[in-house]
Chain A
Amino acid sequence: MTSSARSIDRELASLVESSALRDFESLAPLQQLRLARAGISASTSLVYPKSESELAAVIACAHRNRWQVLPCGRLSRIDWGKPAPAVDLVVSTERLDRVIEHAVGDLTVTAEAGISFGQLQVWLAEAGQFLALDPAYPEQSSLGGVLATAESGSMHHRYGGVRDQCLGITFVRSDGEIVKAGGRVVKNVAGYDLMKLLAGSYGTLGIITAATFRLYPVSEYSGTVLLTGPETAVSALTAAILASALTPTAIDLVGESLLESLGFQGQIGLAVRFASIRASVTEQLERVLALAPALKAERFELEEESHFWEKLHAQFWQADPAESVICKVGVRPVSAPLVLGEIRADATGWIRAGSGIGLVRWPAFDPVAITRMRQFCQARGGYLTVLEAPKAGKSQIDVWGYTGNALELMKRLQQQFDPQKVFSPARFVG
């Protein structure tokens, strides 16, 4: 049921300060574009509660009034997933932006969901620690958004994904109740692991308001080597490194056009990242080079190497999503190099060799190419999910690409957590 924006704002005015109600027009153009892609019209009410209890009151009100809510953080990836039909209210966690506890000695941090991911990393870096995730748009993302989309990045290779590093969560249920699971300690098996259920649930089971994450100490030294050359040689090198005792923190395959945009030549590139004590990093870089004497190699250390990874991120996640299409793909790790061989010259590919999770970007929506890539991934044990695409494009294609037999179970969970469909369940799988 869609209520008029004015009557919603009137009702919310008794729950939140007037500054918490915002206009679509007041948002940055890119945020407007992403919201529009998520199916939100310019007349939809937007609310930015300033505390967890205020947010819970808003959701309880939505529940009472049978409004449909689109939960969001800082709008960096709100267009991921299926467009939401008939949303009455967008609820943002952006103003829930406190670090609740950085337990330095325990290597954990508990923060509110709306905190900027980039700012949190800066805060942690002052204590020589970091959250071992390198998701898309780190500066524009909220911690909650990264958690709700379970988007981990290249460091997955050494540290695992979002789901592996989240130790506890607090969230607001569809009936407005504030609940938690997990805890603030690094090891804990008490109760169901709702952190894993909520990670990657795209806000369909509850709005995450705070979370605790495991942290790691920043290493003394870091280095990356980029090897470029023909596909067969790079594939062989990838397999050799993965079968060796080397301990990279990331091992990513980079497609030809992405290489070119970074100023490198080659059919395919392999970026291998190390972080440890200096002697170990140096030795590992040298061992990689020794494995592939025929490939062209570039070596980066310290600031130069973090700059390389920032550039790689920036080139792939260009902040201009007007036409481009970005898909998340997965294949059995052994097939990872083949994904790059499969995409045509106009597309850009970036695959994590250890896990087989990757990203493909097309300059425009091309359902034939997407479907072909999806079939290719599915034939290799994997999947293709469309993250970013024009709204019209998403309506022509299955966005999620789920092929398993647990859909019924997932739908029952969604129904149990949100029987009134407050949280735009249509955005998710199925």
Chain B
Amino acid sequence: MLTRTTKRNWRAVAKQMESLVGKSGVVWTPEELLVFECDGLASYKQRPALAVLPQTTEELAAVLKLCHREEIPFVARGSGTGLSGGSLPVEECVLVVTSRMRRILKVDLENRQVVVQPGVINNWVTQAVSGAGFYYAPDPSSQSICSVGGNVAENSGGVHCLKYGVTTNHVLALKLVLPDGSIVDVGGPVPEMPGYDLTGLFVGSEGTLGIATEITLRILKTAESIQVLLADFETVDAAGAAVSAITSAGIVPGGMEIMDNLSINCVEDVVANGCYPRDAGAILLVEIDGLAVEVEASVRQVEALCRAAGARSTRIAVDLAERLNLWKGRKAAFAAMGQRAPNYYVQDGVIPRTKLQYVLRRIEELSKIHGYPIANVFHAGDGNLHPLILYDGRVAGELEKVEVLGGEILKLCVEVGGSISGEHGIGAEKRCYMSDMFTPADLETMQWVRVVFDPKTLANPTKLFPTPRTCGESARSGIAQSFKSAELF
């Protein structure tokens, strides 16, 4: 398409945008645009031509209408905490930022639903309903800064998604602005509305089908009792065996997490709360929720299963402060890697839970072959791995080598019947691996959906799907971005 490469009069576009959202809603100076040039995947950078910050559905629709008319590509951005470059700007694009759409529109406790604007921060939802004994289940570790709109776009998970599901299982309805600026409502206050499940199709579409401007979420009643068990093992294999034993026993914990020795030590260096024994091969965290009588019995059973699998010691936290203390290290794990290396590269592959031991051994081998330390922190309950490859991005060519290693790990996940992404999304980062999981016909079918929603391919173009052009190049700088006082994963 010729229009993409033609030099556009951005000053004129900015003026038009200002007429739609007001002067304060348009950012166009290079200095101000600097903060928008990357998301949580900070090794990829691209400055947008403009950033536009609408406040209402109508304003946002007007912005997309203008983009549609002028054939301007646009990228949606919530808080910018995504880890796959989902909100990385593309060249000569308008970045549509939802951070001025932060109202909780409706709290309906009777029907256990909350309606929010996309810029609302994940944990504001729980805060709004916790007084009445409810909570919003999906809890990405970045929940104190990530937006619900971003969660919807990426179908975010979290450490407590094992029992209650990820974002898509908690979204009932959406008001969408399509890439041509039209507004449609999908889903409703009741599940299983007549017609295609466009809500389910939209969640996880990574900003390629439009922008959600009102999101109806299901909220859950807070469990009567919650306990967290920490067990430490000689080896990761033993911790993995304990996970299998717990699953086989029919226990469905709220969350079940493993950290390996390298992760434990990185965390203890930073958090230093002495929770995780530094000499352990791995630690396992299991959270059980439900009725008091049930939790009590299940935790005892989990403890016995851990002991049988070779746990050296176990510790159970009952009250809130104690539980948060046990979780603290896990939630800070990624940030803590900074102590050991200037940079880390994280993967998000998923494997069948029963392949855990095999895959971890292979990752260790890959680590040795490629010569980079890999720390493993993962959602063991659902087989979602987060191998963290430690490297020094200041050395030219290192990132490229690390990406090759990351690719090997993803291929390993696919080889054992898994997936290249469990919760971070494909974005700009993993699009070239989509062909390892899907055939050209599978991808063509997905593109059918895209062309229906976005015939001009203006919404987050180049993301999610492999293209010959994007799978050979990328914009990188290798500089890590940090979010102060927030845990990211």
> A196: nearest residue on chain B (CB-CB)?
B200
Given A183-B437, A187-B422, A243-B221: A194 in contact with B445 (beta carbons within 8 A): yes
- State which residues 159-195 of A face B: CB under 8 Å: 160-161, 163-164, 173, 177-181, 183-195
**Is B198 on the interface with A (CB-CB < 8 A)?**
yes
> B201: nearest residue on chain A (CB-CB)?
A197
The CA of A216 and the CA of B162, in the complex, are separated in Å by 12
**Is B464 on the interface with A (CB-CB < 8 A)?**
yes
> B352: nearest residue on chain A (CB-CB)?
A106
Chain B 450-468, CB-CB to A under 8 Å as 1, else 0, gives 1111000000000010000
**Is B81 on the interface with A (CB-CB < 8 A)?**
no
8 Å CB contact of B112 from A186, A189, A242: A242
**Is A276 on the interface with B (CB-CB < 8 A)?**
yes
Q: In the bound complex, do residue B451 and residue A416 qualify as a contact, i.e. CB atoms below 8 Å apart?
A: yes
The CA of A205 and the CA of B196, in the complex, are separated in Å by 10
Q: In the bound complex, do residue A416 and residue B438 qualify as a contact, i.e. CB atoms below 8 Å apart?
A: no
Chain A 20-43, CB-CB to B under 8 Å as 1, else 0, gives 000000000000000000000000
> B443: nearest residue on chain A (CB-CB)?
A191
**Is A128 on the interface with B (CB-CB < 8 A)?**
yes
**Is A332 on the interface with B (CB-CB < 8 A)?**
yes
Q: Which residues of B contact A164 (CB under 8 A)?
A: 165, 168-169
Given A187-B382, A404-B188: A181 in contact with B445 (beta carbons within 8 A): yes
Q: In the bound complex, do residue B204 and residue A199 qualify as a contact, i.e. CB atoms below 8 Å apart?
A: no
8 Å CB contact of B111 from A186, A334, A401: A334
**Is A230 on the interface with B (CB-CB < 8 A)?**
no
> A377: nearest residue on chain B (CB-CB)?
B190
Q: Which residues of A contact B251 (CB under 8 A)?
A: 217
Q: Which residues of B contact A401 (CB under 8 A)?
A: 194
Q: In the bound complex, do residue A382 and residue B221 qualify as a contact, i.e. CB atoms below 8 Å apart?
A: no
Q: In the bound complex, do residue B421 and residue A413 qualify as a contact, i.e. CB atoms below 8 Å apart?
A: no
Q: In the bound complex, do residue B161 and residue A187 qualify as a contact, i.e. CB atoms below 8 Å apart?
A: yes
**Is B224 on the interface with A (CB-CB < 8 A)?**
yes
**Is A350 on the interface with B (CB-CB < 8 A)?**
no
Q: In the bound complex, do residue A187 and residue B197 qualify as a contact, i.e. CB atoms below 8 Å apart?
A: no
Q: In the bound complex, do residue B448 and residue A417 qualify as a contact, i.e. CB atoms below 8 Å apart?
A: yes
A6 to chain B, nearest CB (A): 33
The CA of A191 and the CA of B418, in the complex, are separated in Å by 13
The CA of A290 and the CA of B247, in the complex, are separated in Å by 33
A183 to chain B, nearest CB (A): 5
**Is B154 on the interface with A (CB-CB < 8 A)?**
yes
**Is A289 on the interface with B (CB-CB < 8 A)?**
no
The CA of A268 and the CA of B201, in the complex, are separated in Å by 37
Q: In the bound complex, do residue B350 and residue A188 qualify as a contact, i.e. CB atoms below 8 Å apart?
A: yes
Chain B 370-399, CB-CB to A under 8 Å as 1, else 0, gives 000000000100111000000000000000
8 Å CB contact of B294 from A106, A280, A410: A280
**Is B475 on the interface with A (CB-CB < 8 A)?**
no
Chain B 80-120, CB-CB to A under 8 Å as 1, else 0, gives 00000000000000000000000000000011100000000
A41 to chain B, nearest CB (A): 27
Which of B184, B419, B423, B438 lies at the interface centre, i.e. has the most chain A CB atoms within 10 A of its CB?
B419
**Is B441 on the interface with A (CB-CB < 8 A)?**
yes
Q: In the bound complex, do residue B418 and residue A192 qualify as a contact, i.e. CB atoms below 8 Å apart?
A: no
**Is A105 on the interface with B (CB-CB < 8 A)?**
yes
Q: In the bound complex, do residue B196 and residue A201 qualify as a contact, i.e. CB atoms below 8 Å apart?
A: yes
8 Å CB contact of B425 from A189, A244, A357: A189
> B353: nearest residue on chain A (CB-CB)?
A106
The CA of A153 and the CA of B163, in the complex, are separated in Å by 20
The CA of A162 and the CA of B257, in the complex, are separated in Å by 27
**Is A213 on the interface with B (CB-CB < 8 A)?**
no
A169 to chain B, nearest CB (A): 11
Q: In the bound complex, do residue A187 and residue B448 qualify as a contact, i.e. CB atoms below 8 Å apart?
A: no
The CA of A104 and the CA of B382, in the complex, are separated in Å by 14
Q: Which residues of A contact B450 (CB under 8 A)?
A: 192
User: What is the number of residues of chain B that contact chain A, defined by CB distance less than 8 Å?
Assistant: 88
Q: Which residues of A contact B442 (CB under 8 A)?
A: 179-181, 191
Q: Which residues of A contact B223 (CB under 8 A)?
A: 245, 247
Q: In the bound complex, do residue A190 and residue B194 qualify as a contact, i.e. CB atoms below 8 Å apart?
A: no
B39 to chain A, nearest CB (A): 16
Q: Which residues of B contact A242 (CB under 8 A)?
A: 112, 221
**Is B148 on the interface with A (CB-CB < 8 A)?**
no
Given A150-B197, A245-B222: A190 in contact with B434 (beta carbons within 8 A): yes
8 Å CB contact of B445 from A179, A220, A402: A179
Q: In the bound complex, do residue A191 and residue B446 qualify as a contact, i.e. CB atoms below 8 Å apart?
A: yes
Given A247-B291, A334-B111: A406 in contact with B449 (beta carbons within 8 A): no
**Is B320 on the interface with A (CB-CB < 8 A)?**
no
Q: In the bound complex, do residue B165 and residue A183 qualify as a contact, i.e. CB atoms below 8 Å apart?
A: no
8 Å CB contact of A193 from B200, B421, B437, B441: B200
Q: In the bound complex, do residue A191 and residue B438 qualify as a contact, i.e. CB atoms below 8 Å apart?
A: yes
Which of B221, B383, B445 lies at the interface centre, i.e. has the most chain A CB atoms within 10 A of its CB?
B445
**Is A138 on the interface with B (CB-CB < 8 A)?**
no
> A356: nearest residue on chain B (CB-CB)?
B190
- State which residues 238-296 of B face A: CB under 8 Å: 244, 247-252, 290-291, 293-294
The CA of A17 and the CA of B283, in the complex, are separated in Å by 57
The CA of A430 and the CA of B194, in the complex, are separated in Å by 10
B110 to chain A, nearest CB (A): 4
Q: In the bound complex, do residue A200 and residue B196 qualify as a contact, i.e. CB atoms below 8 Å apart?
A: yes
> B161: nearest residue on chain A (CB-CB)?
A187
Q: In the bound complex, do residue B451 and residue A163 qualify as a contact, i.e. CB atoms below 8 Å apart?
A: no
Q: Which residues of B contact A381 (CB under 8 A)?
A: 188-190
**Is B212 on the interface with A (CB-CB < 8 A)?**
no
**Is B420 on the interface with A (CB-CB < 8 A)?**
yes
A358 to chain B, nearest CB (A): 10
Q: In the bound complex, do residue B446 and residue A382 qualify as a contact, i.e. CB atoms below 8 Å apart?
A: no
Q: In the bound complex, do residue B194 and residue A191 qualify as a contact, i.e. CB atoms below 8 Å apart?
A: no
**Is B351 on the interface with A (CB-CB < 8 A)?**
yes
B119 to chain A, nearest CB (A): 21
Q: In the bound complex, do residue A163 and residue B188 qualify as a contact, i.e. CB atoms below 8 Å apart?
A: no
Q: In the bound complex, do residue A187 and residue B423 qualify as a contact, i.e. CB atoms below 8 Å apart?
A: yes
Q: In the bound complex, do residue B419 and residue A400 qualify as a contact, i.e. CB atoms below 8 Å apart?
A: no
- State which residues 208-243 of A face B: CB under 8 Å: 216-220, 239, 242-243
**Is A246 on the interface with B (CB-CB < 8 A)?**
yes
Chain B 173-217, CB-CB to A under 8 Å as 1, else 0, gives 000001000011110111111111111110111000000000000
A378 to chain B, nearest CB (A): 10
The CA of A205 and the CA of B297, in the complex, are separated in Å by 47
Q: Which residues of A contact B247 (CB under 8 A)?
A: 105, 107
Q: In the bound complex, do residue A184 and residue B224 qualify as a contact, i.e. CB atoms below 8 Å apart?
A: no
Given A276-B294, A277-B298, A283-B291: A194 in contact with B195 (beta carbons within 8 A): no
**Is A392 on the interface with B (CB-CB < 8 A)?**
no
The CA of A156 and the CA of B223, in the complex, are separated in Å by 19
Q: Which residues of B contact A302 (CB under 8 A)?
A: none
A-B residue pairs in contact (CB < 8 Å), sample of 17:
A105-B244, A105-B354, A128-B250, A156-B191, A163-B197, A164-B165, A177-B441, A186-B353, A189-B154, A189-B424, A190-B438, A196-B201, A199-B200, A330-B188, A330-B190, A357-B190, A416-B452
Which residues of A are in contact with B by a Cβ distance under 8 Å?
103-108, 128, 150, 152, 156, 160-161, 163-164, 173, 177-181, 183-197, 199-201, 205, 216-220, 239, 242-247, 276-277, 279-280, 283-284, 328, 330-334, 355-357, 381-383, 385, 400-402, 404-407, 409-410, 412-413, 416-417, 428-430
**Known contacts A194-B449, A196-B200, then 11 further A-B pairs from the complex at CB < 8 Å, ordered by chain A residue:** A106-B383, A128-B250, A180-B438, A184-B352, A187-B161, A201-B196, A245-B133, A247-B223, A276-B294, A280-B293, A355-B192
